[in-house]
Amino acid sequence: MKTFSALSFLLVCALLTGCRSTGDMIIQYESHLLVGAYSEAADITQREAERKNNDELMWRLLCGNARMLAADSPSAAEQFDLAEDLFIANDTQSVFASAGENTKAMLGSDASFKYNGVGQDRIFCCLYKAIEYAVQGNVAATRTELNRASQYQENWLFDRRKDIANAQERLDKEMSKVPEKERVAGVDASGAQRDQVLSDEAFRNSVLARCGIDSSAPVDLSRLAEAEYSNAYVAYFTGVFRWLNGDGGRGFLRDAANWRPECHPAAQDFNANSSGATPGNDVWFFVEDGLCSSREEWRVDLPLFILPGLGQYVLYAGMALPALLERDAAAISYQAVTPESPAGTPLALLESIDELLKVEYEIYMKGAIAREISRAIVKTSAQIALGIAADNADSMGAFYSLKAAQIGAGAWAASTTEADIRSWVSLPKYVYTQHLQRPANGKISLVANTATGNEMLQLDIPEGNTIVWVRKLSPTTPMVAKIVTYPSPPGAR
């Protein structure tokens, strides 16, 4: 009887670990953000972006966000511009539909694809560019970027349908290329039996539940309500900007009020705008709170479940999926305190970015689970085929040659089984808003009520109509503010 040690396999796997992962770099980036070291966080991500690899788009977005917090508006806008260039390049073809270079990714892991971003990534990229141009006093550029953000929001459904179709088409094409020798024990890696083997309801439900998906009510794009995927923050900000600059804004204010009817400032502004009112010496707060949900890897061992009775030939079999990890808010509530209102005016919840990202995540996961099932079949089948061939070899030379190939197949399976945990992790969890009259002395204190105590941000508001953008990342991270003021037009209320 021939025997063979798995020591070589373990050594190969060890050699494949030890380099700094994308996840490690994201953690380092976040750790700098949370202590207020924004320039350092930006430097980390800019260096990574300059590598020009598949993660460049993500690093540009993260870098631009950090430059915003560091009050470096020109550099922030530059990074978002570079990110926009990558988005535009991706417009010509879905990353899933690209030929050649993505064959390995389709059979390896989603983490090997170019980072394509999601709908909210693109919308926020333009929104943040608009904010930075507003800070620089460039009204025309601000308007252009807000128009782009709105257009990307309108394209959201079309883009999601396109991505789903391209991903499935590419998966079917790559699975059809799997050699006959990698189809073992009647399991066809490209056919219906693949689903029968791995689609056991209990298993699928456990995967979906762990990843935060309700399997009893999967996302159906044809039935998705507009409010479920539309960003009221972008709509309201755009409506206010247009209102203050003589561009109307009624449609955007209406959308924000319709999508988030519980947000009273949006409804009140829509009514005021519709009545022809002209703001004068008014103040709008837009407060971005906390960090949005991130992704963590969840690995599942599968050898006995996939092919019972053949597990002895499998050196590694598994799946890796990204589970959605919800994170804490930075504050419990916010209040704007003025000399005229010493008790404070509460800010209203305008948008939950977590809810928007969850919709996009569930859409992504519908395809990701199918791809991981197919990959597990292919990777496991290859090892089994080589193991069976080795056991039936007619010479020791052939035996060791086949065993070496089996080890290589197992090492490849282990090294490429990874979840795609890349995301724009520095987006906010919630967005709050409020519309106030500017106090006579221009003094407004924004109070963040946190689990560790209250934080107060003292603001001097110039005369005119003012937009105040505030970012608070965590209970202990100080608030960062940007103030943009436009002259009150003649005849303002």
Which backbone phi and psi does 77 adopt, to 5 degrees? Answer: -60, -40
pLDDT digits (tens, 9 = 90+) for 277-294: 999 999 999 999 999 999
Sequence-ordered list of residues with C-beta below 8 angstroms from that of 222, at least 6 positions apart, any chain:
none
| pTM score, whole prediction | 0.86
Token reading at 295: 């992704």
Q: Which residue has the higher pLDDT, 114 or 273?
A: 273
| CB count in 10 Å sphere of residue 85 | 12
pLDDT digits (tens, 9 = 90+) for 238-269: 999 999 999 989 999 999 999 999 999 999 99
| CB count in 10 Å sphere of residue 101 | 12
* pLDDT at position 7: 38
Closest CA to 258 of 250, 267, 249: 267
* pLDDT at position 185: 41
Mean pLDDT of the 357-380 span: 82
Angle at 305 between CA 304 and CA 308, to 5 degrees: 55
* pLDDT at position 207: 58
Q: Can you tell me whether residue 41 is helix, strand or coil?
A: helix
pLDDT digits (tens, 9 = 90+) for 467-485: 999 999 999 999 999 999 9
Which backbone phi and psi does 12 adopt, to 5 degrees? Answer: -60, -45
